[in-house]
Amino acid sequence: MHIAIVGAGIIGLATAFELRSRGAEITLIDAAPGLGASHAAAGMLAPTAETTWGQDSLHQLMASSAKEYPAFIDRVEQSTGRKPAYVENSTIVVAAETADMEALLQLKELQTSLGFSAERLLGSAARKLEPALAASIAGAIFCAEDQQLDPRSLLRILIDEFDSSIVRNTAVRLMRHGSRTCGVMTSTGQEIRADQVLLAHGLGTLEGAPNLPLRPVYGDILRLQGPVRSPLIKRTVRGIVHRQPVYLVPRTDGSLVLGASSREDGQDQVNVGEMHALLDNARRLVPGIVDTTLNEAIVRARPATPDDRPLIGRVDDGLVISTGYSRHGVLLTPFGARLGTDLLLGNPVDEQQLNSVSLDRFGAQLANSTGL
């Protein structure tokens, strides 16, 4: 079976990987593979720390995908001979002040009620784990099950792996045979016919695709370089500073990912005010970041849905969609790649999971836009 995938971000590439391992022939179409939201992501796999009120269905998906991660990474390593930078180094969520600690303790109640492991730490205990934390912190929560993946390492491996199957062009139109999608036309007029088409195009658009209820939520994010031999922190440090969230994710090369803003102002350039706030808040948690150097400041838009759950489902006999991964696309990659693969190959799927991400929950918009 030949499957054309529009979009070589983490979702398109991971789905291509799963499909290929089940015997499918893949063509990926993307003018800038791996340079969308996935390029900016911090890669926190944080079902515990990312818990928020009123999102039970999302939490179930996050927890389920986090469990799938080690096996997914093993499969990538076995198949490609290269290991993605997946690190089980846990997460500490730090409160800068007493009021922030109150907010954290309320969150801990929710986390534990959902079955996540969340342990309260006094400031002194948190500093024993991470000595670079400021002496002034009010306390912390230890999230043993929250890990990280450097998304760029996975993107690099999979882009190399599929190199000869990537058409480096923009898809401009879905081709149809009757009511069935049968391929994709690119901006150079190339027609790519396929048995099935997957739209994993993030916030992208093309003619004939459903008008999905997506909006760009911009995230400014920094990469700092610290010492390689004695890294500032070993675990991901998330924090609340004056009720504002901030995080520092340590990579194995001594660099730190500092993020991230959340803006809906349509401005696709790095925002200086957001950079300042991120640095200032991070410095309150880990004062030593003032001695690091700046590697990068970038911004990308998260493809966000109204309820933060992705949009995965079949649109017609030849078309499946997998997008809208919002803030959790890296975490949800094993889940999304598996579900997309099963839908494309016509395999049985977990109905409860499918319902929680189905296009039907926004059915009115889809029907209006496609005329289906």
Ligand X SMILES: Cc1cc2nc3c(=O)[nH]c(=O)nc-3n(C[C@H](O)[C@H](O)[C@H](O)COP(=O)(O)OP(=O)(O)OC[C@H]3O[C@@H](n4cnc5c(N)ncnc54)[C@H](O)[C@@H]3O)c2cc1C
Q: Are 290 and 346 in contact (CB under 8 A)?
A: no
Q: Which is nearer to ligand X, 87 or 138 (CB)?
A: 87
What is the smallest separation between the CB atom of 123 and ligand X, expressed in angstroms?
25
Q: How far is the CB of 186 from ligand X (least distance, A)?
A: 8
Min dist CB 335 to ligand X, Å, is: 11
Between CA 69 and CA 86 the distance in angstroms is 9
Compute the least distance from the CB of residue 347 to ligand X, in Å. 21
Nearest residue (CB) to ligand X, 138 versus 220: 220
> 287 and 342 in contact (C-beta within 8 Å)?
no
Could you tell me the smallest distance in angstroms from the CB atom of residue 112 to ligand X? Answer: 22
Q: Report yes or no: 3 and 24 within 8 Å, Cβ to Cβ.
A: yes
Three-state secondary-structure class, residue 346: coil
Min CB(228)–ligand X separation in Å: 22
Q: Hey, what are 245's tokens?
A: 């969230």
Least distance CB 290 / ligand X (angstroms) = 22
B/e letters for 37-48, b = 16+ CB within 10 Å, e = fewer, are bbbbbbbbbbbb
Binding site for ligand X (CB under 6 A): 6-12, 29-30, 32-33, 35-38, 40-44, 170-171, 200-202, 204, 206, 219, 221, 259-260, 300, 302-303, 323, 325-331
Nearer residue to ligand X within complex by CB, 51 or 123? 51
Q: Is 6 within 8 Å of 201 (Cβ atoms)?
A: yes
Number of CB atoms found within 10 A of residue 301's CB: 20
CB of residue 328 vs ligand X: minimum separation in angstroms? 4
Alpha carbons 22 and 14: distance in angstroms, whole number = 13
Instruction: Give the DSSP per-residue string, 46-97.
Output: -TTTT--TT-HHHHHHHHHHHHHHHHHHHHHHHHHS----EE---EEEEESS
Nearer to ligand X (CB atom), residue 32 or residue 372: 32
CB of 329 to ligand X, least distance (A): 2
Whose Cβ is closer to ligand X: residue 111's or residue 322's?
A: 322
Between 138 and 158, CB nearer to ligand X: 158
Token pair for residue 311?
């949009």
Cβ neighbours of residue 85 under 8 Å, at least 6 residues apart?
A: 149, 150, 153, 154, 251, 252
The DSSP 8-state label assigned to residue 322 in this structure reads E
Q: What is the largest CA-CA distance in the chain?
A: 67
Q: In what order do the strands lie in the sheet with 255-259?
A: 119-121, 139-143, 91-95, 236-241, 244-250, 255-259, 215-225, 293-304
Nearer CB in complex with ligand X: 38/181: 38
Pick the closer one to ligand X by CB: 138 or 162: 162
The residue nearest ligand X at its CB is 204
Between 101 and 149, CB nearer to ligand X: 149
